[in-house]
Chains A and B, each alone.
Chain A
Amino acid sequence: MFDLKKHIKANSIDHAIALLIENPDARLIAGGTDVLIKLRDGKPGFSELVDIHGLEELNFIRQDGKNNILIGSGVVFTDIIQSDIIKKHIPMLCDAVQSIGGPQIRNIATIGGNNCNGVTSADSASSLFALNAVLEIRGKGTIRQVPISDFYLGPGKVDLKKGEILTTFKITPENYQGYFGYFYKYAMRDAMDIATIGCAVSLKTKNQILTDYRIAYGVAGPVPLRCPKTEKSVINKKVSKSLLDEISQTIETDVSPRTSWRATKDFRMNIIKELSKRATKEALQRAGEEV
Chain B
Amino acid sequence: MIEFKKVNFWYGEEDEPEVGNEEVLREVDLEIPQGKFMVLLGRNGSGKSTLAKHTNGLLLPKSGEVIVDGMNTGDEESIWEIRRRVGLVFQNPDNQIIATTVEEDVAFGPENLGLPREEILARVEEALNLVGMAEYRNKEPHLLSGGQKQRVAIAGVLAMHPEYLILDEATSMLDPEGREELMKVIINLRERIAVFHITHNVEEATEADEVLIMDEGRIVARGKPREIFSQVEKIEEWGLELPQVVETALLIKKQFPSLFEVLPLSPGELVQELCL
A binds B: no
Which residues of A line the B interface, CB within 8 A? none
